[in-house]
Amino acid sequence: MVSTDPVAADAVGLQIIQQKRRLEFGEDRPLQPTAHHIALADTEYGLGNADMSRIELVRLGWEEGSLI
């Protein structure tokens, strides 16, 4: 994964981890402890963007088995 925005990279990485956990466990299982630092980096400190609806995701290569 490559990004000019480290917060966006963390947000996308979190989505991948959550999807992998759904596939493994067959249900949503929240991370313990939660990854609230990603949202705080965006909202409290303005270090980047954690809102997936505002992240442009460019896929290169194969898409089969893609988690997001």
pLDDT digits (tens, 9 = 90+) for 16-57: 999 999 999 999 998 999 999 999 999 999 999 999 999 999
Q: Which helix (H) or strand (E) holds 15?
A: helix 6-25
The 3-state DSSP composition of the chain as helix, strand, coil percent (nearest 5) reads: 45, 0, 55
Cβ-based neighbour number of residue 50 at 10 Å: 22
- pTM, two decimals, is 0.86
Residue 56 is predicted with a pLDDT of 95
